[in-house]
Amino acid sequence: MRKKSKLFFINGTILTLTSLLMKFAALIFNVYISNQIGSEAVGVFSLVMAVYLFFITVATSGLNIAVTVIVSEKFATNKDKIAIKAIRTCIFFSLLLGIAAGGLILLFSGFITDKCLHNMVSSKPLFYIAIGLPFIAMSSCINSYFTSVRKAYKNAITQVFEFVIKMIATVILLKINISKGVEYICISLILADVISEICSFTLIFILYIIDIKLKKLSNVRSFGQRINILKIAFPVAITSYIRSGLSTLKQLIIPTQLEKSGLSCNNALSKYGIINGMVMPVITFPTVLTDSYSMLLIPEFSTYIAQKNYKAIHYISNKIFKFTCAFSVCVSSIFLFFSNDLGLVIYNNLETGLYFKLLAPLVFFLYMDHIIDCILKGLNKQFGVMCCNILDLSITTCFIYFLLPIWGINGYIASILFSEILNFSVSLFQLIKYSKIKICFIDWVLVPLVCSLLSYFIMSIFHFSFIDMTMNLVFNICLFIFYFLVIFILINKQILKKNN
């Protein structure tokens, strides 16, 4: 138990540190790109990405989840050869699905550019997307394999390599095309992503071949586990198509419905670009500190289920929730208390600061929901997770369709908050039902809220006041986090003493 816990935290730390460095660099890079191309171009590119993500879902079709579950279970029961047969089958299926998804996007390219992208770009970006889909699908399966066998550092190496390639390609292509308009900006960004995905797949495939040779499993040539793969992947795929389709539809109708509220097409795309392409990436950035551990929960809980170790499930769940709640409340408070300064420092724009403040409560529900979903997937409740997402998307899409023409951008903000609260509530209900975990409101929610309020009170008395706005913001955020941690540790020590 101790050895597995140690390995879990080592892998989580490796992924977290790598993702932290990468996503921080990516955030800075995205902020730079957003400031270079403008909010309207960001809005158009966000629509293209919504289409891109739907076809990635078609290309992967739940095979990555099948890899994670089957490989974790087979290695846990010393059936290594069966695990390798399963991963070989999944890679082959993902290649076929990637090609099929690429064919579909080309077949419907005219409809997509006309109805979905408002004729702001031609079908050229879709052609490049079609090229990249098979490589993305296969990479997804191999990444899941390395996660399952607790070799997170190989995924980390690949991610760093991919990001470096993407950054270099983006800078070069934008330098050539940025003056040619929105379409060429989108082509540059998509082409850079596709180039990086192809390079990333090449590296991860080489690492996979080396890994199975070291395990002396390279002689396994046959395929296997087709029925098990289909049992896991098929329901995930179907619900993924529906979920991703609704998600894409939701994103695509937002600019149209905003126009109906009285905004021009360009202004609607600009508002959409500010929230989706500028504010949301910053709000979701801190999840890098929890994402790696949360993804590792899938194979970890799959192993516990295979071993029927329910005691470990309850123990780890409680620990994870306690610290994730504290982290979420702390980050939410930062966006709430420092919203205006964040908007000015990052984008030199007070409007983004307003959206940071309005969306600050979203942080808690967003971060917690992701953790809960990963635990449910590890408990082999993927179908329930997908159904929850479908319910959420169906309701919020209706919300957007009917209320955005009346409430405008405020309706969009309300729909985002409503969506996350609904998703979180249904996911939490499922977790309680399947794991029998008990909610500890005082430890999980009340203590972090008290820490936040006390930290803000102390901040109002003891804080930095530098002339430079960036330095002032950084130091005061660090000071707030320090106060929060000190108070959190002191309160938990007192609780521990009372319990003993």
How does pLDDT run across 459-476, given as a tens digit for each residue? Answer: 888 777 777 888 899 999
Q: Spell out a b/e string for 139-149, using b for 16 or more CB atoms within 10 Å of the CB, else e.
A: bbbbbbbbbbb
pLDDT classification of 328: cutoffs 50, 70, 90: very high
Measuring CA to CA, how many Å separate 323 from each of 284, 290, 319, 327, 371? 17, 10, 7, 6, 11
> What pLDDT does 451 receive?
94
* Span 219-241, pLDDT tens digits: 666 666 678 888 888 887 887 78
Residue 192 lies in a domain: yes
pLDDT for 383-399, tens place per residue?
Answer: 777 778 788 888 888 88
User: Does the residue 273 lie in any domain?
Assistant: yes
| CB atoms inside a 10 Å sphere around CB 8 | 19
Measured distance CA(32)–CA(102) in Å, rounded: 30
Residue 37 resides in a domain: yes
pLDDT of residue 58: 92
- Angle at which helices 339-347 and 310-337 pack, to 10 degrees? 80
Considering its fold, how many domains does the chain have in total?
1
> pLDDT at position 453, please?
94
Least confident of 26-30, 41-45, 290-294, 357-361: 290-294
**442/304: higher pLDDT:** 442
Q: In this predicted structure, which of 298-312, 363-377, 477-491 has the lowest mean pLDDT? A: 298-312
Confidence of residue 255 (pLDDT cuts 50, 70, 90): confident
Write the secondary structure of the chain as one string of H (helix), E (strand) and C (coil): CHHHHHHHHHHHHHHHHHHHHHHHHHHHHHHHHHHHHCHHHHHHHHHHHHHHHHHHHHHHCCHHHHHHHHHHHHHHCCCHHHHHHHHHHHHHHHHHHHHHHHHHHHHCHHHHHHHHCCCCCCCHHHHHHHHHHHHHHHHHHHHHHHHHCCCHHHHHHHHHHHHHHHHHHHHHHHHHHHHHCHHHHHHHHHHHHHHHHHHHHHHHHHHHHHHHHHCCCCCCCCCCCHHHHHHHHHHHHHHHHHHHHHHHHHHHHHHHHHHHCCCCHHHHHHHHHHHHHHHHHHHHHHHHHHHHHHHHHHHHHHHHHHHCCHHHHHHHHHHHHHHHHHHHHHHHHHHHHCHHHHHHHHHCCHHHHHHHHHCCCHHHHHHHHHHHHHHHHHCCCHHHHHHHHHHHHHHHHHHHHHHHHHHCHHHHHHHHHHHHHHHHHHHHHHHHHHHCCCCCHHHHHHHHHHHHHHHHHHHCCCCCCCCCHHHHHHHHHHHHHHHHHHHHHHHHHHHHHHHC
Lowest mean pLDDT among 71-85, 294-308, 358-372: 294-308
In-domain check, residue 358: yes
* Tokens found for residue 225: 């586990």
Q: Indicate whether 132 pLDDT > 90.
A: yes
pLDDT in tens, 147-171: 777 776 788 788 889 989 998 998 8
Q: Which residue has the higher pLDDT, 442 or 449?
A: 449
Given the structure tokens 């919020």, which residue do they identify? 396
| Mean pLDDT, residues 253-281 | 86
User: Residues of the chain with pLDDT > 70: what percent?
Assistant: 92
Per-residue pLDDT of 397-422, as tens digits, reads 888 998 899 998 889 999 989 988 99
Residue 91 domain-assigned (yes or no):
yes
Task: Please give the model's pTM, rounded to 2 decimal places.
Answer: 0.74
- Mean pLDDT of the region 37-41: 79
Q: Is residue 403 part of a domain?
A: yes
Q: What is the pLDDT of residue 304?
A: 76
Taking the chain, what is the end-to-end CA distance rounded to the nearest angstrom?
24
* Confidence band, pLDDT 50/70/90 cuts, at residue 321: confident
Q: Does the pLDDT value for residue 108 go beyond 80? A: yes
pLDDT grade for 2, boundaries at 50, 70 and 90: low
Confidence of residue 317 (pLDDT cuts 50, 70, 90): confident
- Greater confidence (282 vs 219) lies with 282
Contact 141, 87 (CB under 8 A): yes
**Token duo for residue 223:** 């395929």
| Nearest-angstrom CA–CA distance, 460 and 456 | 6
Residue in 349, 345, 370, 495 with CA at minimum distance from that of residue 39? 349
Quick one: average pLDDT of 75-90? 79
Domain that residue 275 falls in: 2-439
Residue 483 lies in a domain: no
Q: What value does the mean pLDDT of the chain take?
A: 84
Please check whether residue 445 lies inside any domain of the structure: no
Place of tokens 């000071």: 479
State how far the Cα of 352 lies from the Cα of 341, in Å rounded to an integer: 10
In this structure, the number of other CB atoms found within 10 A of the CB of residue 111 comes to 9
CA trace torsion 177, 179, 185, 188 (10° rounding): 10
pLDDT band (50, 70, 90) for residue 14: low
